[in-house]
Chains A and B, each alone.
Chain A
Amino acid sequence: MDDRILLAHGSGGVLSHELVRDVFVRRFANPVLNDLGDAAVLDQLPPGRMALTTDSYVVQPIFFPGGDIGTLAVCGTVNDLAVAGATPLFLSAGFILEEGLSLETLERVVHSMAAMAQEAGVQIITGDTKVVESGAADELFINTAGVGIVPPGVDLAPANLRPGDVLLVNGTVGDHGIAVMIQREGMDFSSALQSDCAPLNGLIARVLDAAPGAVRCMRDATRGGLATVLNEWAEAGVGIEIEEAAIPVREEVRAACEFLGLDPLYAANEGKVVVATAPEAADAALAALRAHPLGHDAAVIGRVTEEHAGHVALRTPYGARRVLLMLTGAQLPRIC
């Protein structure tokens, strides 16, 4: 096989078949995919409500410390299902490849996806590949859709939030956004900062088990960061108050943000979930988070309030209180 992607790889001919067989099916191997039918046909699903989600991944650079576009494509979709309370089961994977992409790059990405799918316990059961002319895409784009089942009795939504509810996060915020930014801008920070990209379904299942019926709502804090999730929740008609000093932020992230004039509360995460629980279940939820490898640094960061509905207030370490807004525009490094 040629070591670069050609337009013919997307033509449906011999090269397409070889690519599907030697790269995708070999890596993602499972009984449903191996059939290579036009549609994946699933056996009886477990009881519960079905959850369906889709997301497209266009990150640049495609390889970054702690992950790549493939790990993101699996984790992002798995996490979207998991925070809805669903057990993720199956994914689809659609690839848009730029003509000239090295096959080795594609193999690395597909390998990451397979490894991450295995870690998350999901199967990639159907897919598609298109090749576009050089310049019409930036190396490769991936779309994944995911199917999961929400077990009976689980119902997570911002509408469930009640004054007094406790807000938790499973660890340090801003790692992914700042790691990618440092890599993209070629900034020579001598730090080993890595993206936090990880599948959260295992951790989330533990929390749901530890606080049965008491978890109100969950959201993965991806684009727009923690501040955006909290603002979206406040829009459901409650007030939210958080303690700045309680929010875990990695030392390297704080330093990079200080240096660049950015705010870690708005930086993207790919392995962080914000959890709201009834007050009496907060301790159990926190313990469950901390007992999981992806939740060592978990912390209680604030609570839902009756006052200032629709707004997020942040209490600074000095006792002052200010509004934490939704991000407007991009965060720009300071100029003087």
Chain B
Amino acid sequence: MKFIDEFRNPALARRLVEQITREAQAYGAQARDGRGPVRLMEFCGGHTHAIFRFGLRQMLAPHVELHSGPGCPVCVTAAADLDRAIALAEIPGVILATFGDMVRVPGGHGTLQDARARGADVRIVYSPLDALQAARQNLERPVVFLGIGFETTAPTIAAALVQAETEDLPNFSVLSLHKLTPPAMRAILDAGEVALDGIVGPGHVSAVIGSEAWNFLPREYRIPCAISGFEPLDILGAVAALVHAAVMDDPTVVNAYGRGVSPQGNQVAQRMMDRVFEIGPAEWRGFGSVPASGLTLRETFAHRDAARLFPVEIEPAEEPPGCRCGEVLRGVITPTECPLFRRVCSPRNPIGPCMVSSEGACAAYYKYGEETPE
């Protein structure tokens, strides 16, 4: 398959792994300051799944460790925000349109799926444009789109809002729970819970915000960042760059996904976001409130802001007992270290969001569990 097979060449992959291993061994051998393996974090859940699917963790072990980051928009949605969405869906007449993964994620008080079973009109859509269509077909009913996602999904949702304005669609609104990725990366580093030698930067997010958006990592934290695509050679290329930077002690931002990412990013998408959204604090599952890490609707779009149109009272949410999704999202533990993993929590019976989402770290560890029982 064109543009896929080129990036999955097994022979090239093996050569890259050999090169990485050689450099990482040399790095680990500089043992006077207690250095072990090179520890990297892949921010993005899409990377985690690709890494497992192709078995890259195994190939890089033990000299390179890959830790999953918080880059799963479903997973980082706070339980309280989910409860708000559920309360909103239960307002008589409201149609709540959402991406599929969200319906099974437990909030503090049940899931959207439960609400649907109780009679709420919760509809799964593949695109905000489907939600617009639902609004056109149900002019007498409010249609609320549950806006989750990072900088990748925000522009299309902004475009849907602009389109609703153009069409004068009176009944379309968005509950914006969008989040920004660089502030989350900062939060992880500021917390100091995990020692990292490099960051595999998110490919799709960076296609929108540009590689320069990560310059703060080497500048302020002295940590290299390599932006990666989602094919094996993309990821291995990024890992090679990070290991090299660690060995040379020369932190920079490397764009290892040049075919998708430019230094400044997609400026049309950025302008679209800027027209509709403004930056504000956001509540992250596992992190709490992170300043300047979320997108809320601007005053000019207040009449399409579901948070303002439908103020709902919600009780304080508690995380499910025993669930350690928060620590998984911060990279502090791996999913297998959670006592619920596989014993109680599985894709069929998910306790926390990381097991539900197709980008969740727990789902990846479960699905591709690499420890083949002997």
Structural contact, A335 and B153, CB atoms closer than 8 A: yes
Structural contact, B150 and A336, CB atoms closer than 8 A: yes
> Quick one: closest B residue to A335, CB to CB?
B99
Structural contact, A311 and B372, CB atoms closer than 8 A: yes
B215 within 8 A of A: no
- Interface segment among A149-157, A195-203, A320-328: the answer is A320-328
CB 8 Å contact bits of A137-166 with B (1 = contact, 0 = none): 000000000000000000000000000000
A258 within 8 A of B: yes
CB 8 Å contact bits of B167-202 with A (1 = contact, 0 = none): 000000000000000000000000000000000000
A313 within 8 A of B: yes
Residue of A318, A332, A333, A335 near B55 (CB, 8 A) is: A318
Which residues of A298-336 have CB atoms within 8 Å of chain B's CB atoms? 307-308, 310-311, 313, 316-323, 325, 328-329, 332-336
A251 within 8 A of B: yes
Structural contact, A336 and B152, CB atoms closer than 8 A: yes
Residue of B4, B59, B74, B346 near A335 (CB, 8 A) is: B74
Q: Which residues on A sit within 8 Å (CB–CB) of B10?
A: 245, 317-319
Q: Which residues on B sit within 8 Å (CB–CB) of A323?
A: 368-372
Q: Which residues on B sit within 8 Å (CB–CB) of A111?
A: none
Most buried by B among A258, A261, A307, A332: A332
Tell me the smallest distance from the CB of B122 to a CB of chain A, in Å: 15
Give the complex CA separation of A133 and B108 in angstroms. Answer: 43
A296 within 8 A of B: no
B367 within 8 A of A: yes
Known contacts: A322-B55, A335-B100. The answer to whether A329 contacts B374 by CB under 8 A is no
Which residues of A106-154 have CB atoms within 8 Å of chain B's CB atoms? none
Most buried by A among B57, B153, B368: B368
Structural contact, B358 and A261, CB atoms closer than 8 A: yes
> Quick one: closest B residue to A185, CB to CB?
B126
The count of residues in chain B whose C-beta lies closer than 8 Å to any C-beta of chain A is: 42
Give the complex CA separation of A307 and B1 in angstroms. Answer: 34
Give the complex CA separation of A242 and B369 in angstroms. Answer: 16
A255 within 8 A of B: yes
Q: Which residues on B sit within 8 Å (CB–CB) of A320?
A: 54-59, 370
A254 within 8 A of B: yes
> Quick one: closest A residue to B72, CB to CB?
A336
Residue of B55, B149, B232, B359 near A321 (CB, 8 A) is: B55
Tell me the smallest distance from the CB of A334 to a CB of chain B, in Å: 6
Structural contact, A334 and B358, CB atoms closer than 8 A: yes
Structural contact, B1 and A322, CB atoms closer than 8 A: no
Tell me the smallest distance from the CB of B174 to a CB of chain A, in Å: 15
Q: Which residues on A sit within 8 Å (CB–CB) of B57?
A: 320
Give the complex CA separation of A308 and B374 in angstroms. Answer: 4
Q: Which residues on B sit within 8 Å (CB–CB) of A336?
A: 46, 73, 149-150, 152-153, 204, 359
Structural contact, A318 and B13, CB atoms closer than 8 A: yes
Structural contact, B54 and A318, CB atoms closer than 8 A: yes
Q: Which residues on A sit within 8 Å (CB–CB) of B374?
A: 307-308
Structural contact, A322 and B369, CB atoms closer than 8 A: yes
Give the complex CA separation of A319 and B370 in angstroms. Answer: 12
Q: Which residues on B sit within 8 Å (CB–CB) of A332?
A: 100-101, 358
Tell me the smallest distance from the CB of A268 to a CB of chain B, in Å: 19
Structural contact, A255 and B368, CB atoms closer than 8 A: no
Q: Which residues on B sit within 8 Å (CB–CB) of A308?
A: 372-374
> Quick one: closest B residue to A255, CB to CB?
B1
Tell me the smallest distance from the CB of B130 to a CB of chain A, in Å: 11
Structural contact, B1 and A254, CB atoms closer than 8 A: yes
Tell me the smallest distance from the CB of A255 to a CB of chain B, in Å: 6
Residue of B14, B52, B100, B150 near A333 (CB, 8 A) is: B100
Structural contact, A258 and B54, CB atoms closer than 8 A: no
B347 within 8 A of A: yes
Tell me the smallest distance from the CB of B204 to a CB of chain A, in Å: 7
CB 8 Å contact bits of B321-362 with A (1 = contact, 0 = none): 000000000000000000000000011100000000011000
Give the complex CA separation of A255 and B5 in angstroms. Answer: 11
Known contacts: A308-B372, A308-B373. The answer to whether A335 contacts B348 by CB under 8 A is no
Known contacts: A318-B14, A320-B54, A321-B58. The answer to whether A335 contacts B358 by CB under 8 A is yes
Q: Which residues on B sit within 8 Å (CB–CB) of A310?
A: 373
B35 within 8 A of A: no
Q: Which residues on B sit within 8 Å (CB–CB) of A316?
A: 53-55
* Further contacts, 5 of them, CB under 8 A, given A332-B358, A335-B153: A258-B4, A311-B373, A316-B55, A321-B372, A325-B369
14 CB contacts below 8 A, A to B, read: A255-B4, A308-B374, A318-B17, A318-B59, A320-B370, A322-B368, A323-B368, A323-B369, A323-B370, A325-B367, A328-B346, A332-B101, A333-B100, A335-B74
